[in-house]
Structure 1
Amino acid sequence: MTALKLEKICKSFGSVKVLKDIDLVVEDGEFVVFVGPSGCGKSTLLRVIAGLEDATSGTVAIGGDVVNNTAPSKRGIAMVFQSYALYPHLTVRDNMTLGLKQEKQPKNVIDERVNKAVQMLDLTAYVDRRPSDLSGGQRQRVAIGRAIVREPKLFLFDEPLSNLDAALRMNTRIEIADLHRKLSASMIYVTHDQTEAMTLADKIVVLRDGRVEQTGSPMELYNNPANQFVAGFLGSPSMNFLTRSVAGLPQGTTLGVRPEHLALADDGQIKGRITHVERLGGDTNLLVTTAEDETLTVRLFGQHMANVGDAVTLGFDAAHTFHFDADGKRINKK
């Protein structure tokens, strides 16, 4: 069964069009990530799916049922917010049971669901604590647990890791991925962080200015981007774009090459000078300014003794490059 189907979804606030003719299908059990820069419409789209915003036009169907006129509480969804949205005066257990009590679920059903979620999220030791007694990561797990006990048709996550530090973000990301495997649930996850998108998603939806730029698996989008925007958005460090530093490049054409596909080579195509070195232990990133005043990022595996000011020559394999026209559209190689 299809978990979610969107057809020609548009959303306007007054004269401002925020979402523009969005079509999307989320299959049952699929983990889909909406990614894009701030203001691209990804959170608004999530709110339209949840029923927190009404679509100006178009159809939202969840589990095969059109829900445009259905209240959020009746859509069979559970939402996890960036801010956790926990009741500060209630314990962990009470926060997780409140929605089920409001649904008038039997006590044995409530206890069974909550106990299962508490064990799954390793919250057994914290069930009698209030949110103020928990760390940020623990609060986020409680918010996720509150969603799990609802047993929804569709989980919606709105930038749930934004308030966590780097180490907690990675740990919680792993927990969410593990949760998806255990539940085999349909999930939609909104983030501006392309690392989260690449590591969590079965399918990524890249949005810009209220439109879908491309949809596909993480490696499909990484290896075969439809345009310059997608190519530059996915990947860390991001793709290099050159217009002047490569001999024979046609007028109005941009050459894209990822940092890991550039190498130090005496017989390379590009001459430049190192302006910055990032020593990351396992990797070394070089920022190189070319003779044509274009700045490139070079990602080298391992540790290298390169220094700021060194003159270098860079090479690349043409098979690992991308070409884009003046409008940023991908030019397919012949």
Structure 2
Amino acid sequence: MGSLTLENIRKSFGSVEVLKGIDLDVRDGEFVIFVGPSGCGKSTLLRVIAGLEDATSGKVLIDGQPVDNVPPAKRGIAMVFQSYALYPHLNARDNMGLGLKQAGRPREEIKARVATASKMLGLDEYLDRRPAELSGGQRQRVAIGRAIVRNPKLFLFDEPLSNLDAALRVNTRLEIAKLHRELKATMIYVTHDQVEAMTLANRIVILNAGRVEQIGTPMDLYNRPANLFVAGFIGSPKMNFIEAERLGESGASTLGVRPEHITVDPASGDWKGIVLHVEHLGADTILYLDTEKAGLITARLFGEHQFAPDDILFATPQRQRIYRFDSEGKVVA
């Protein structure tokens, strides 16, 4: 079992309130990701769950039991850090088994658990190497293996891929997704990268300035954002926001349309504009258009298109995919 409940978690550092009343229920076996901009409180919240920080008020429950006064080592959690935190003088095998050794587990049990984790992570040929002899991706896998051997109730990941290059991030992301399926373990994961959140999570918790903006599945957040912040945070390129009065729309303050929900045509359409810049990405073409009615907008087209700066194009949004927001940034039904 590995359920987690947070009840009105608040955390202040002096006069600065970093967490402002967080409520959350994580089911056993769920993969939940905290995402948000820098300084939103996501890493602080993870550290409160781990017991590395004390909440100013509120309760943390693991499997229904309060753990606010339980030290980190007794909470049944394992944490994977951004910095790997490996001992440089130990090889990969000993780094993975050190926690069990310190806990006094039998040598054969340690050997068996390390072997299982190593096979799962493809580390068998690297077990005798020290961290300096490993790549960044291999070091991160060793750090993940160290967590696996403890057989924890909760896995906590604090931006584990941010030190890796783009290719390694993709590979390690696939390994973490596979690991979750195999272990069926509860995982709480912090990242600022919405792509990681969208591709890994069962549910995403979007944080902003110490508060929860919305909780939902990746596609819930993409298709049904609760407010301007969520709508602008989820999706790449980000959603276009247009002042409603520019388009003569009533009953809303701001209109939103995602770049992939805009079509362009050289001959006719709703918004006439001039191409400012084109990004040719192979699978996609991203256009930045300065339109007469809607202002500067971004359009994402599937495939390769031979448009160029200074071309005149007409952009047309999919009417059924336009979002409407009131003056406070909330979605208007």
Question: If the length of structure 2 is used for normalisation, what is the TM-score?
Answer: 0.97
| Residue in 2 that maps onto 1:179 | 179
Q: Indicate the residue corresponding to 2:143 in structure 1.
A: 143
| Worse overlay, 26-35 or 312-321 | 312-321
- Matches of 2:275 and 2:176, distance apart in 1: 40
Give the structure 1 partner of residue 295 of structure 2. 294
Cα deviation, residue 250, structure 1: 2.7
Residue 201 of structure 2 corresponds to residue 219 of structure 1: no
The 2-side partners of 1:210 and 1:54 are apart by 16
Amino acid at match of 1:258: R
The answer for the alignment partner of 1:43 in structure 2 is: 43
- The answer to whether the 8 Å contact 2:2/2:29 transfers is no
Deviation at 1:245, TM superposition (A): 8.0
Aligned length: 332
Query: Given the alignment of the two structures, is residue 69 of structure 1 paired with residue 69 of structure 2, yes or no?
Result: yes
Q: What letter corresponds to residue 306 of structure 1 in structure 2?
A: F
Tell me which residue corresponds to 1:327: 328
What is the identity, as a one-letter code, of the residue corresponding to 1:200?
L
Alpha-carbon distance between aligned partners in 1 of 2:200 and 2:142, rounded to the nearest angstrom: 20
8 Å Cα contact 1:245/1:270 also seen in 2: no
- Cα displacement string for residues 289-312 of structure 1 (whole angstroms, at most 9, x for unaligned residues): 122572211000111111100111
In 1, Cα distance between equivalents of 2:245 and 2:311: 18
Q: Distance in 1 between matches of 2:231 and 2:244?
A: 19
For structure 2, list consecutive stretches of 5 or more residues without a partner in the other structure. Answer: none
Question: What letter matches 1:193 in structure 2?
Answer: D
Deviation string 1:200-257 (CA, Å, 9 cap, x unpaired) is 0000000000000000000001000000100000001111101168522238611100
Where 1:152 maps in the other structure, the secondary structure is: coil
- Following superposition, the deviation at residue 65 of structure 1 comes to 1.3
Matches within 5 A, 1:122-137: 122-137=122-137
The alignment's C-alpha RMSD in Å is: 1.3
**What is the CA–CA distance in structure 2 between the aligned matches of 1:31 and 1:8, rounded to whole Å?**
21
C-alpha distance in 2 between matches for 1:291 and 1:244: 14
Give the Cα–Cα distance (whole angstroms) in 1 for the partners of residues 294 and 203 of structure 2: 37
1:120-163 CA distances to partner (integer Å, 9 max, x unpaired)? 00100111110000000000000000000000000000000000
Q: Secondary structure in 2 aligned to 1:34?
A: strand
Partner of 1:81: 81
Please state how far the C-alpha of 1:115 moved relative to its aligned partner. Answer: 0.3
In structure 2, what is the Cα distance between the partners aligned to 1:272 and 1:264? 10
CA–CA distance in 1 between the matches of 2:244 and 2:231?
Answer: 19
Look up the equivalent residue of 2:326 and give its one-letter code.
Answer: D
Q: Is the 8 A contact 1:254 1:326 kept in 2?
A: yes
Where 2:3 maps in the other structure, the secondary structure is strand
In 1, the alpha carbon distance for the partners of 2:4 and 2:65 equals 9
CA distance in 1, matches of 2:314, 2:332: 27
CA shift for structure 1 position 318: 1.3
AA of the residue aligned to 2:55: A
- Asked if 1:30 corresponds to 2:47, the answer is no
Supply the distance in 2 between the matched residues of 1:289 and 1:2 (Cα, whole angstroms).
51
C-alpha separation in 2, matches of 1:189 and 1:96? 20
Tell me how far apart the structure 1 counterparts of residues 138 and 246 of structure 2 sit (CA, whole Å). Answer: 51
Partner in structure 1 of residue 274 of structure 2: 273
CA contact (8 A) 1:246 1:270 kept: no
Distance 1:235 1:252 in 2: 22
2:193 paired with 1:193: yes
Which letter maps to 1:86? Answer: L
How far has the Cα of 1:32 moved from its partner? 0.2
CA distance in 2 between counterparts of 1:293 and 1:252 reads 15
Counting only pairs closer than 5 Å after superposition, residues 228-243 of structure 1 correspond to structure 2 as: 228-243=228-243
Contact 2:271/2:294, CA 8 A, preserved across alignment: no
Q: Distance in 2 between matches of 1:250 and 1:290?
A: 20
Is the contact made by 1:77 and 1:153 (CA closer than 8 Å) also made in structure 2?
yes
- Structure 2 residue aligned with 1:264: 264
Unmatched 5+ stretches in structure 1 = none
More divergent stretch after superposition (280-289 vs 76-85): 280-289
